[in-house]
Structure 1
Amino acid sequence: MKIHAIETGRVRVTERWREGEGDGLRRLLNAWFDKATTGWLPVHVWVIEHPEGLIVVDTGIPADANRPRYFPPFMPLIQRAAVFDIAPEEEIGPQMRALGLEPRDVRWVVMTHLHQDHDGGLHHFPSAEVLVSRDEWSFACGLRGRMNGYLNQRWPRGFAPTPVDFEDGPLGPFPRHASLTRAGDVTLVPTPGHSPGHLSVLLEEGEPTIMFAGDTSYTEDHLLRMVADGIGTDLEAEIETHRRILAHAAQRPTVYLPSHDPDSAGRLAHRITLDPHGTAAARVGRLGKVA
């Protein structure tokens, strides 16, 4: 199998967005009003050339991601705290075609969650089966979703993804899982916290496991330090998800690929596995810098 790491633009967020501080509403306000910002972070999409068909994990951002939004009423605060940089040719559709891959040939699009920087390229995949966890779909739909910052009015007309129900029992430290491929080498696991129905994708290619982790953490270092972001819906669930990912990596070598980690593409290319007992300092030299 061939795996493509495609950067669909960049995002810059406040430091307290990426690494939260405080509890409850205060944590969210700290993320929105923090004056310190990160540098530009990648918005990764992952394309897997699988024998059973092309698989895309997340879809990146659209070229008009910075266009002002006025609902919910606090949306201007979100847009101030998270700024995007993307040209039309950087959307996932044109980038796939540049690689000789046709978006209309994609069999499955797996959404880790439905935030704008992950669902903004859905319109490029009119023929694919789109999979979203049932909890995420229920939370993101309608007025409730809009009031929680989901831009569901931007979904393609008639958007009706296949809800994922995790009914296949435990998989290592994960309490449930759902198999995607007949070969059993692509598995979906619940990783809630950043959003209520967040999921991650595990790909077995012999050894190691490749984990497409969405926004379970913003970087590998945040995972190792058990740092939750500032906008997650459930702080305790996010930390518990971190524990399960680290436990999985202790049982089986795992390449951990969060969507916005600048080092994710390098770790994929070199199959650099997560050391669940490691520290940032211990990883200096693996990619030429600290993750």
Structure 2
Amino acid sequence: MLETNARATPAHTARSTNIRMWGLDSPKMTIDAAHLVVGAEGTVQIPLPAYVIEHEQGLVLFDTGMDPRVCEDPALVYGDRPETSMISGTPEQRIDRQLAKLGYRPEDVTHVVLSHTHADHSGGLYLFPQAKFYAGPGELQWAAGPGPATAHLFNPGDFSDEVMDFTWTTVQAPVFDLFGDGAIQIHHTPGHTPGELSALVRLPSQNVILTGDTVHLREAVEWDEVDPSDWDYGEARASITKLKELRDAENARLWIAHDPRDWEDFGGALRELS
């Protein structure tokens, strides 16, 4: 079920009602850095994570990582495709088991914000049928008919009829306030895909921007450089600028999901931020 919501963020900023946030442990992928940022060199092992935000009005997931079966054996999802040899993980890194480490069950999740529809972000959607789901403008349509150049980034099984029957809301406003209190603001940052979303999370002690795949590595921010697989290079560069302006205006820290250096700076997986 697809709904449209154009509610913008309020002009004022209320006190944060987020209690705390965690980045979940996840399987990793070994990949050439040049596939993530034009001009980057070397090989990098990137996390494929999700984030949990505990708010007074609900439990929020930002992304759902890869299909949990890759934590058991990537071949269960990718067969003899190259991804099978690129992904490494353990059963404990399944998103449902990561939630359990925090004392939660999948059914406790009330809201899921999907940064975009690539397989390393949408693989666990099916675990949360009770939640409200949010995607950017045009994103679900984009996933339904990707071109040949990017089809390998999607897993059609992530968007089964069952998943598409969940309660989906399209975020139409450039900035959408999830709970109306300024604590979680969803920003449309297109470029990697048409509906790419980022999130400004205001915690009691700090502000954090979850970048989704608006950028993949720090070099993208430093060089204003795109991912070779981006949908629109001009939009991607404009969104990088938007991220940096938001970071500076909010005195926020960027958390680039796929950059292992950011995970070190934030204290690693399951480190509580409040």
**TM-score range normalised by the length of the shorter chain:** 0.7 to 0.9
For 1:164, which of 139, 151, 170 is the aligned residue? 170
Structure 1 residue 20 displacement after superposition = 2.1
| TM-score, structure 2 as length reference | 0.79
For 1:90, which of 80, 93, 113 is the aligned residue? 93
Number of residue pairs matched by the alignment: 241
Aligned to 1:273: none
Of structures 1 and 2, the one scoring higher in RCO (CA 8 A, sep 6+) is: 2
Q: Measure, in 1, the Cα distance between the counterparts of 2:47 and 2:172.
A: 29
The one-letter code sitting in structure 1 at the alignment partner of 2:157 is: Q
Aligned CA RMSD, in angstroms, stands at 2.6
What is the SS of the residue equivalent to 1:40?
strand
The one-letter code sitting in structure 2 at the alignment partner of 1:92 is: I
Matches for 1:66-77 after TM superposition, within 5 Å: 66-67=75-76, 76=81
For 1:121, which of 124, 130, 135 is the aligned residue? 124
The one-letter code sitting in structure 1 at the alignment partner of 2:253 is: V
Q: Measure, in 2, the Cα distance between the counterparts of 1:125 and 1:94.
A: 14
Aligned to 1:5: 23
Q: Measure, in 2, the Cα distance between the counterparts of 1:39 and 1:248.
A: 27
* 8 A Cα contact 1:194 1:229, kept in partner: yes
Aligned to 2:242: 244
What is the SS of the residue equivalent to 1:8?
coil
Q: Confirm or deny that 1:135 pairs with 2:138.
A: yes
What is the SS of the residue equivalent to 1:54?
strand
* 8 A Cα contact 1:222 1:228, kept in partner: yes
Q: Measure, in 2, the Cα distance between the counterparts of 1:37 and 1:76.
A: 22
The one-letter code sitting in structure 1 at the alignment partner of 2:261 is: D
Structure 1 residue 252 displacement after superposition = 2.1
Deviations 1:98-153, CA, capped at 9 Å, x for gaps: 22111111010110001111111112212211211131111112xx1374422223
* 8 A Cα contact 2:193 2:231, kept in partner: yes
Q: Measure, in 2, the Cα distance between the counterparts of 1:163 and 1:152.
A: 20
Matches for 1:255-270 after TM superposition, within 5 Å: 255-269=253-267
The one-letter code sitting in structure 2 at the alignment partner of 1:241 is: S
| TM-score, structure 1 as length reference | 0.74
Gaps of 5+ in 1: 22-30, 168-175, 271-291
* 8 A Cα contact 1:59 1:122, kept in partner: yes
The one-letter code sitting in structure 2 at the alignment partner of 1:97 is: A
Structure 1 residues 54, 180: closer, same or farther in 2, change over 3 A? same
Structure 1 residue 157 displacement after superposition = 4.2
Aligned to 1:154: 158
Q: Measure, in 2, the Cα distance between the counterparts of 1:60 and 1:139.
A: 19
Matches for 1:1-291 after TM superposition, within 5 Å: 1-20=19-38, 38-62=43-67, 63-64=69-70, 65-67=74-76, 76=81, 79=83, 83-141=86-144, 144-145=145-146, 147=148, 148-149=150-151, 150-160=154-164, 161-167=167-173, 176-205=174-203, 208-269=206-267
Deviations 1:8-50, CA, capped at 9 Å, x for gaps: 11011222201225xxxxxxxxx9xxxx762321122110111
Structure 1 residue 249 displacement after superposition = 2.1
Aligned to 1:284: none
Q: Measure, in 2, the Cα distance between the counterparts of 1:98 and 1:156.
A: 28
Gaps of 5+ in 2: 1-18, 269-274
Structure 1 residue 221 displacement after superposition = 3.5
What is the SS of the residue equivalent to 2:120?
helix
Structure 1 residue 89 displacement after superposition = 2.5
Q: Measure, in 2, the Cα distance between the counterparts of 1:11 and 1:202.
A: 26
* 8 A Cα contact 1:220 1:256, kept in partner: no
Q: Measure, in 2, the Cα distance between the counterparts of 1:7 and 1:66.
A: 20
Structure 1 residues 120, 20: closer, same or farther in 2, change over 3 A? same
Structure 1 residues 86, 156: closer, same or farther in 2, change over 3 A? farther
Aligned sequence identity (%):
22
What is the SS of the residue equivalent to 2:211?
strand
Structure 1 residue 68 displacement after superposition = 6.5
